Amino acid sequence: MSMRLNRFLARAGAASRRGADALIEAGRVRLNGETITRLATSVDPDRDLVELDGAVVTLPESLTYIALNKPPGYVVTMSDPQGRRTVADLLTGVPPGVVPVGRLDAGTGGLLILTDDGELANRIAHPSYEIDKVYEVEAKGTLSEEERLKLEAGLMLDGRRTAPATVRVVSTAGAATVAEMTIHEGRKRQVRRMFELVGHPVTRLTRTRVGPIELGDLPPGRWSHMSDEQLRTLREALKMPAE
């Protein structure tokens, strides 16, 4: 089955589709030995040889989509030169090439999607698709209505305002607030830094949903393959054609 060259490169994890267009235009892609700069080029993955910067690009045989309940204390990387515990330690039996989509900091737990589908991974990470990332936040002190509205409206992080978010207070007991926060971005330590800015340091952070994929009752440290239905709803949310 033939497909557009940019889609092929994105599926292979080489770049986003737009990034693949830039690679093609820059003359870095060869098809059957010839440099291609025409964006509307089609390839047949079973017959054609595609090279990027001289290295052969291939599609994974079949794609893998995993949901992991990452426990706090594991670093989101497949190998760590500092020898810390990583999510790879929890993923025995997973094919090589499967990598985490986006990040969760080491102290954060909850849903982490992993895949070798480069195009899907790029779309989840890209804010333009407005994929919800939902977090359960436990923070010190009582979040006031004014502070809640500030979190929702956006705060300056690294000189740039955060995009609108939603924050729902689940409970305030004693000197702690439990809230559910939905964001569409994935900036570094975003939820922790936003709560810190309104004066409520986060004591526990768990991601409970990414787009239509829920953490559900997956125990900490365990992973499962996504079901066909989960994958269908995820692709739909990411405006990807049905396979």
| 3-class DSSP assignment, residue 50 | strand
The residue from 21, 48, 80, 105 that is catalytic is 105
191: contact with ligand URA by CB under 6 A? yes
Single-letter amino acid code for the residue at 47: R
Closest to ligand URA by CB, 12 vs 104, is 104
- Calculate the CA 164 to chain-centre distance: 19
Question: Could you tell me which stretch among 14-22, 48-56, 167-175, 189-197 binds ligand URA (CB under 6 A)?
Answer: 189-197
217 catalytic, yes or no?
no
Check binding of 108 to ligand URA (CB under 6 A).
yes
Q: Is 231 in the site for ligand URA (CB under 6 A)?
A: no
Nearer to ligand URA, 53 or 130 (CB): 130
Q: Quote the CA–CA distance of 127 and 197 in Å, as a whole number.
A: 22
CA atoms within 13 A on the CB side of 97: 16
Instruction: Copy the structure tokens of residue 213.
Output: 């994929």
Q: Where are the alpha helices (DSSP H) in the chain?
A: 5-11, 17-25, 118-125, 145-153, 190-197, 228-237
11 binds ligand URA (CB under 6 A): no
Cβ at position 181, least distance to ligand URA in Å: 9
Q: Which of 21, 51, 80, 105 binds ligand URA (CB under 6 A)?
A: 105
Closest to 238 measured CA to CA, from 78, 61, 115, 68: 115
The binding site for ligand URA (CB under 6 A) comprises: 104-105, 108, 189-192, 205
The catalytic residues are 105
